Amino acid sequence: MLAQRHARIREIEALGFRSYGQRFDFTHTIPQILAGHGSMTGGELEPTIQVKVCGRIQTMRRMGKAGFAHLLQLGEKLQVYIRKDAVSERDFALYQLLDIGDIVGVSGYLFRTRTGELSIHAGELTFLAKTLLTMPEKWHGLEDVETRYRQRYLDLIANPEAQKVFITRSRVIASLRRQLEARGFIEVETPMMQPLYGGATARPFVTHHNTLDVDLYLRIAPELYLKRLIVGGLDRVYEINRNFRNEGISTQHNPEFTMLEFYQAYTDYQGLMDLSVELLRQTAMDATGSAIVEYDGRRLDFSSIRRLTMREAVIEFWMDAEGPSLENVRDPDWLKRHSSKATPGEMLVDLFERVAEAHLYEPTIIYEYPVETSPLSKNSLDDPAFVDRFEIYVAGMEIGNAYTELNDPQEQRRRFEMQLTMRERGDEEAHQMDEDYVRALCYGMPPTGGEGIGLDRLTMLLTNSRSIRDVILFPLLRPEGPIGIADELRALDDGGAAS
């Protein structure tokens, strides 16, 4: 097959075409043609409209002295009609040599076929690039998930809906940027390689800088750097970038993933709740055209987001009919009877995760978190065992985490020391002491609200994708091993040189 296609390059060149062509100045993209002329009748297409389009050949139906092909560009297709008496002899010879997957340019006029399909009546063909490998089958597309992830380019060619997912992803990110900029946030970039990792509980990837001879960690979160910027007086900052966590892979976890983090001085977690509700609603609108989307057969309404405390969620979703009372979930002894964790706060979180989390299908904000699991959040005024923090859950997934930032350096020092104790007890994920961060707080950080939103997961929800790998162009997989294409190409090259 490879040899056959390779030989065809010479035949195409013998006709005077370049097998790998030059720039092509099209007049319209295929989506533009469909949008602009898709609803015009055959009659309205006269006088003729001349266009130049280009794309990849998706299908071919040859009928002797004429034929049809579908040209695919940007996930949409336009039919091309080529007939012997409408093109030059040379172009017709080229048409006969075309393979599905070749990239060509076509100039001609628009018309409707007998069956009513908008098509381009070819007057001239331009050869732009040759495919040497066969394309996936036309009506199933490429289904093998491993190939789809490893060879994403093939997935994007063969499955138009795969392109749509990544276009929506781009819209999600653009929408959030636009909304934050409109509110006076500025986009910043903070280190991906950090001497100390922090801002989340996770195991890091380690790398090494040769000249400085130091180990560095790929960041697990940008949080501590962004808050240094708040200290510095950049009152509203955000960053959209990758975090790296050296942990398991699943349908909801990829080792590198994209987070939006934003920090707003002089607000608190209540202010961020209101902002989040607005951001999510508008992002859903911008990405999908509606605040109501379908996910896995169920309805998600981003325009009405419930707010529940963690304790209320435990009560509401309790597995038995006779749920606990508010007094129960406040009572350390009651909690101890239902969880084996070390402290009342950890017990409550444990219960919440077991009882409620999977049921949080409709977009829901959960607030009032215990202090033990939140080393960087500010204590609640009315209960120092809790912090002013909330998380956003949709379809059973956590997609956002926000809190009033702890800005008291003494308290922050004590929290870090508490984490160090946990670390000594063997908790690898406990937070490290970051003295420069404490020093920054010593200069005074204004009251601040900070939030992180997982953009991969948000994109999953807005594209109806069940796996995070479907919204990451190149998800991490084990390396593939030898492919052998270089050897095959070299063999063809040697053969060509010899002949």
Partner RNA sequence: GGGCCGGUAGCUCAGGCGGUAGAGCAUCUGCCUUUUAAGCAGAGGGUCGCGGGUUCGAGUCCCGCCCGGCUCACCA
Of residues 95-124, which lie at the interface with RNA (CB under 7 A)? Answer: 99-100, 111, 113-117, 119, 121
- Number of residues forming the site for RNA (CB under 7 A): 72
- Measured distance between the N- and C-terminal CA atoms of the chain, rounded to whole angstroms: 19
**Identity of residue 16:** G
We find the least distance from the C-beta atom of residue 352 to RNA, in angstroms, to be: 12
Q: Is 245 in the site for RNA (CB under 7 A)?
A: yes
Interface residue with RNA, options 240, 283, 454, 458 (CB under 7 A)? 454
Say whether residue 257 binds RNA (CB under 7 A).
yes
40 makes contact with RNA (CB under 7 A): no
Q: How far is CA 156 from CA 56, 159, 171, in A?
A: 12, 6, 17
* Of 106, 91, 122, 92, nearest in space to 52 by CA: 106
Alpha-carbon torsion 83, 85, 91, 97, what sign? positive
Q: Is 398 helix (H, G, I), strand (E, B) or coil?
A: strand
CA dihedral sign of residues 301, 302, 304, 305:
positive
Cβ of residue 234: shortest distance to RNA, in angstroms? 25
Closest CB 99 distance from RNA, rounded Å? 5
Gap between the Cα atoms of 320 and 299, Å rounded: 26
- Quote the CA–CA distance of 113 and 161 in Å, as a whole number: 26
Shortest distance in whole angstroms from residue 149 CB to RNA:
6
Among 45, 66, 167, 438, binds RNA (CB under 7 A): 66
Which one of the spans 77-85, 173-181, 223-231, 440-448 is the region binding RNA (CB under 7 A)?
Answer: 77-85
Binding segment for RNA among 134-142, 164-172, 282-290, 436-444 (CB under 7 A)?
Answer: 134-142
Q: What is the C-alpha separation between 85 and 336, in angstroms, rounded?
A: 86
Nearest to 259 by CA among 399, 396, 156: 399
Q: Which range in 18-26, 132-140, 299-307, 438-446 contacts RNA by CB under 7 A?
A: 132-140
The tokens for 222 are 């940008």
* Side-by-side strand order, sheet with 236-244: 186-187, 236-244, 256-265, 448-454, 397-404, 386-394, 364-370, 306-309
Q: Are 82 and 69 in contact (CB under 8 A)?
A: yes
Q: Is 250 in the site for RNA (CB under 7 A)?
A: yes
Q: How far is the CB of 137 from RNA (least distance, A)?
A: 3
Q: Which of 47, 184, 233, 248 binds RNA (CB under 7 A)?
A: 248
For residues 153 and 102, give the distance between their C-alpha atoms in angstroms, rounded to a whole number: 14
Q: Which is nearer to RNA, 163 or 467 (CB)?
A: 467
Alpha helices by DSSP H, listed for 111-222, are 145-150, 152-158, 160-182
**47 is a contact residue toward RNA (CB under 7 A):** no
Select from 24, 68, 109, 295 the one that contacts RNA (CB under 7 A).
68
Hey, what are 124's tokens?
Answer: 């001239």
Among 398, 409, 411, 430, binds RNA (CB under 7 A): 398
Pairing mode, strands 298-301 and 306-309: unpaired
234 binds RNA (CB under 7 A): no
Among 46, 143, 408, 493, binds RNA (CB under 7 A): 143
Side-chain half-sphere of 64: how many Cα atoms within 13 Å?
Answer: 1
Among residues 107, 190, 254, 419, which is the contact residue for RNA, using CB under 7 A?
254
> Closer CB to RNA, residue 223 or residue 265?
223
**Stretch binding RNA (CB under 7 A), from 170-178, 222-230, 254-262, 301-309:** 254-262
Identified binder of RNA from the candidate list 14, 15, 133, 342, rule CB under 7 A: 133
Residues 283, 287, 288, 293, CA torsion sign: negative
Q: Considering beta carbons, is residue 283 or 401 the nearer one to RNA?
A: 401
Helix pair 269-288, 160-182: axis angle to 10 deg: 140
Q: Are 1 and 134 in contact (CB under 8 A)?
A: yes
Q: In the window 479-498, what residues touch RNA (CB under 7 A)?
A: 481
417 binds RNA (CB under 7 A): no
Interaction between residue 10 and RNA (CB under 7 A): no
Q: Per the structure block, which two tokens stand in for 92?
A: 């017709």
With beta carbons less than 8 A apart as the criterion, state whether 12 and 4 touch: no
Q: Which residues from 171-230 bind RNA, rule CB under 7 A?
A: 200-202
Binding of RNA by 301 (CB under 7 A) = no
Nearer to RNA by C-beta: 231 or 470?
A: 470
6 binds RNA (CB under 7 A): no
Asked if 252 is part of the footprint of RNA (rule: CB under 7 A), the reply reads: yes
Determine if 309 is a binding residue for RNA (CB under 7 A). no
| Residue of the chain from 130, 227, 311, 457 that contacts RNA (CB under 7 A) | 457
> Is position 149 an interface residue for RNA (rule: CB under 7 A)?
yes
- Answer for which of 44, 46, 144, 494 binds RNA (CB under 7 A) is 144
For residues 435 and 238, give the distance between their C-alpha atoms in angstroms, rounded to a whole number: 23
